[in-house]
Chain A
Amino acid sequence: MKILIIEDEKELVRAIKNFLETEGFLCETAFSYFEAEDSLSAYIYDIIILDLTLPGGDGLNLIKLIKDRNRQAGLLIVSAKNSLDDKIKGLDMGADDYITKPFHLAELNSRIKSLARRQHFDGTNELIFNEIKINTDSNEVFISGTMLALTKKEYEILLYFIVNRNKVITRESIAEHVWGDNISYADNFDFIYCHIKNIRKKIELNNGRNYLHNIYGIGYKFSER
Chain B
Amino acid sequence: MRLLQKTSRTYFLVSGTGFLIAGVVFYFVVSLFFKDQLNEKLHHDIKNISRTIMKNGTLPNYYPFIETREVSAQPEHSFKTIDTLIFDGFEKRKIPYRQISLITVINDKVYFIAARDTLIEEDDLLEVIAIVTGLVFVLLLVSLYFINRKLSLKIWQPFYKTLNELKEFSYEKPRFKLSSESQLYEFTELNKTLEKLTRKVITDYQSLKRFTEDASHEIQTPLAVIQSKLETLLQYPDLKKEQAELISSTYVYALRISKLTQTLLLLTKIANDQFPDKKAINLAELIREKIKMFEDHILEKQLTLNKDIDPDCFIETNFFLAESLIINLISNAVKHNVKSGTINITLDKNHLEISNSGEKPAVPTTKFFDRFYKTNESSDSPGLGLAIVKEICRLNKWEINYVFEENLHKVIIKF
A sample of 28 cross-chain residue pairs with beta-carbon separation below 8 angstroms, ordered by A number, consists of A11-B229, A15-B228, A18-B232, A19-B228, A83-B213, A101-B220, A102-B220, A102-B223, A102-B224, A102-B254, A104-B231, A105-B231, A153-B296, A168-B231, A168-B234, A170-B251, A172-B252, A182-B293, A183-B293, A183-B297, A185-B252, A195-B296, A215-B234, A215-B244, A216-B244, A218-B247, A218-B248, A218-B251
CB contact under 8 A between A184 and B381, given known A15-B232, A101-B223: yes
Q: Which residue of B lies closest to A53 (CB)?
A: B217
CB <8 Å contact, A80 and B235 = no
How far is A84 from B172 in the complex, measured between Cα atoms in Å?
14
Q: Which residues of A contact B (CB under 8 A)?
A: 9, 11-12, 15-16, 18-19, 22, 53, 80-84, 100-106, 153, 167-168, 170, 172-173, 179-180, 182-187, 190-191, 194-195, 215-219
Q: Does B216 contact A (CB under 8 A)?
A: yes
Q: Does B258 contact A (CB under 8 A)?
A: yes
Instruction: Give chain A nearest CB distance to B143 CB in angstroms.
Output: 58
How far is A179 from B293 in the complex, measured between Cα atoms in Å?
6
CB <8 Å contact, A191 and B255 = no
How far is A103 from B235 in the complex, measured between Cα atoms in Å?
16
How far is A179 from B289 in the complex, measured between Cα atoms in Å?
12
CB contact under 8 A between A12 and B251, given known A82-B262, A194-B296: no
CB <8 Å contact, B231 and A82 = no
Q: Does B17 contact A (CB under 8 A)?
A: no
Q: Which residues of B contact A (CB under 8 A)?
A: 213, 216-217, 219-229, 231-232, 234-235, 241, 244-245, 247-248, 251-252, 254-256, 258-259, 262, 265, 275, 293-294, 296-297, 299-300, 320, 327, 331, 335, 379-381
CB <8 Å contact, B228 and A216 = no
CB <8 Å contact, B232 and A185 = no
How far is A153 from B254 in the complex, measured between Cα atoms in Å?
26
CB <8 Å contact, B259 and A184 = yes
CB <8 Å contact, B231 and A216 = no
CB <8 Å contact, A15 and B229 = yes
Chain B residue numbers with a CB within 8 Å of A82 are: 216, 220, 262, 265
How far is A196 from B221 in the complex, measured between Cα atoms in Å?
32
Q: Which residue of A lies closest to B251 (CB)?
A: A170
Pick from A12, A153, A187: contact of B228, CB below 8 A: A12
CB <8 Å contact, B244 and A182 = no
